[in-house]
Amino acid sequence: MATIAVLGTLDSKGHEHAYLAERVRARGHAVLLVDVGTGGPPQVTPDVTRAEVAAAAGLDLAPLVARHDRGECVSAMAAAAPVLVARLVAEGRIDGIVALGGGGGTAIASAAMRALPVGFPKLMVSTLVSGNVAPYVGTKDVTLLPSVVDVAGLNRVSRTIFARAAGAICGMVEAELEAGEGKPLLVASMFGNTTDCLNAALPVLEAAGYEVLVFHATGSGGRAMESLIESGLVEGVFDVTTTEWADELVGGILGAGPERLDATARAGLPAVVAPGCLDMVNFGERASLPPEFEGRTIYVHNPQVTLVRTSREESAELGRILAEKVNAYGAPVTVLLPRGGLSVIGAAGGPFHDPAADAALFDALQAGLRADVPVVESALAINDPAFARLAAETLLANLRAAGARA
């Protein structure tokens, strides 16, 4: 029997959460009912009170409630609930979490879920699922279920949805997981335009005894990789696709934020870094391309993705940014420069082949790096199998130098 946290604003949606809890118990599991409401008294008796939730983060709930500022109260609970729930998980008191919510409830409950490890069962039933859900999911595996109708009473539709939600979270906690192989973990960044590089590098890293987790450099992928690096589960970083910085700098749609590449420094991990796909900025369909980019070198990657070639000036700035990021690394790190091209379409004969722009990037990167950071230059393109093997073997050397297990 597992214990599932049923978390919600029990002042406004107490009966709905009680019904959800009842359905979970009917499947043979225990429930820990957690109240994160800040309005009137709870409609049902919680196992963990709202005052206890607030106290977990050192908050005094009474003055907040007395000000009758709902936004302030929701923000406070969105800060406190993650602390409380993470503690429950660390203490082994819950095996899964499920919540129902409108705007405020979803903000609070999803914040709590994002504080939990990847793989921990988490299900959010929300009125907001049909819109932009990125703020609620973040970089974690939060499962979302549309409530269809508002979470406002029990009726033939809501009962069906809530019952299915109970079945879903119970199924998640009941699922048997394969035993981990125990291999040390590496993370790697990849894009469609560096897939061949990863395909050639992975066998080298795996043959050395590592399991490699590959992240798609689409903004959310880079953020997810950074999050995992900071989790303490990773031994080293194969960061050969730093393209998200091009979008961050130029204004594309796949930026990963200004902290991309910072987690490796904070975690003190050995790494290799290459400017993979820094020759491109991502936008949506061709008709959506901002007018200021007309006249630039443009490549329609597919009907939904249009690529713009980075200019010499932008490339030079990207080189300076990468140097600044790498200079913060304390563990062994090597910068690799594939002078034959940064992507499939940036190699000789490709539409983004621009040796002058690449040279601006390489020159700025080398000029900005600390003197003790090794730079390995290659005449090969990034997707050449020989370059991929060089990158993989360089990371393995850095791992050995750092005393990492293999």
Q: What is the pLDDT of residues 341-370, one digit of tens each?
A: 999 999 999 999 999 999 999 999 999 999
Residue 180's pLDDT is 54
| Cβ-based neighbour number of residue 8 at 10 Å | 30
CA-CA distance, 112 to 142, in Å (whole number)? 10
CATH 3.40.50.12020 domain extents, the chain? 3-174
Given a contact cutoff of 8 angstroms between Cβ atoms, the answer to whether 243 and 278 are in contact is yes
CATH 3.40.50.12030 domain extents, the chain? 185-401
Mean pLDDT, all residues of the chain: 95
- Per residue in 63-72, pLDDT (tens digit) is 888 888 888 9
Antiparallel, parallel or unpaired: β 185-190 and 211-216: parallel
CA-CA distance, 225 to 4, in Å (whole number)? 28
Q: Residue 333 CA to chain centroid, in angstroms? A: 23
Q: Is the pTM of this model over 0.95?
A: no
Residue 341's pLDDT is 97
Work out the average pLDDT over 210-239.
94
Work out the average pLDDT over 384-396.
98
- Per residue in 92-149, pLDDT (tens digit) is 999 999 999 999 999 999 999 999 988 899 999 999 998 889 889 988 999 999 999 9
| Cβ-based neighbour number of residue 90 at 10 Å | 10
Above 60 in pLDDT, residue 172? yes
Strand order of the β-sheet with 280-283 is 280-283, 305-309, 298-302
CA-CA distance, 41 to 14, in Å (whole number)? 10
Name the one residue in this structure whose structure tokens are 């009473």.
153
Above 70 in pLDDT, residue 405? no
Given a contact cutoff of 8 angstroms between Cβ atoms, the answer to whether 382 and 353 are in contact is no
Above 70 in pLDDT, residue 179? no
Long-range residue pairs from 89-93, CB within 8 A, at least 24 positions apart, any chain = 89/116, 89/117, 89/120, 93/3, 93/32
CA-CA distance, 199 to 234, in Å (whole number)? 20
Given a contact cutoff of 8 angstroms between Cβ atoms, the answer to whether 309 and 297 are in contact is yes
Above 90 in pLDDT, residue 87? yes
- Per residue in 294-334, pLDDT (tens digit) is 999 999 999 999 999 999 999 999 999 999 999 999 999 99
Residue 181's pLDDT is 60
Which range is least confidently modeled, 27-41, 179-193, 246-260, 347-361?
179-193
Percentage of residues in the chain having pLDDT higher than 70: 99
Partners of 124 in the β-ladder: 99, 144
Residue 22's pLDDT is 98
Residue 64's pLDDT is 82
Q: Where are the alpha helices (DSSP H) in 257-327?
A: 262-267, 312-326
Q: Which residue has the higher pLDDT, 179 or 114?
A: 114
Above 70 in pLDDT, residue 48? yes
CA-CA distance, 61 to 52, in Å (whole number)? 9
Which range is least confidently modeled, 34-48, 127-141, 169-183?
169-183
CA-CA distance, 307 to 345, in Å (whole number)? 10
Given a contact cutoff of 8 angstroms between Cβ atoms, the answer to whether 5 and 108 are in contact is no
Name the one residue in this structure whose structure tokens are 């970089």.
139
CATH topology of domain 185-401: Rossmann fold (3.40.50)
CA-CA distance, 314 to 316, in Å (whole number)? 5
Given a contact cutoff of 8 angstroms between Cβ atoms, the answer to whether 141 and 124 are in contact is no
Rg (CA), the chain: 24
Burial of 343 (0-12, 13-18, 19+ CB in 10 A): buried
Residue 231's pLDDT is 84
Strand order of the β-sheet with 3-8 is 30-35, 3-8, 96-101, 122-126, 143-146
Domain 3-174 has CATH 3.40.50.12020: yes
Residue 92's pLDDT is 97
Work out the average pLDDT over 187-192.
96
Name the DSSP class of 243. T
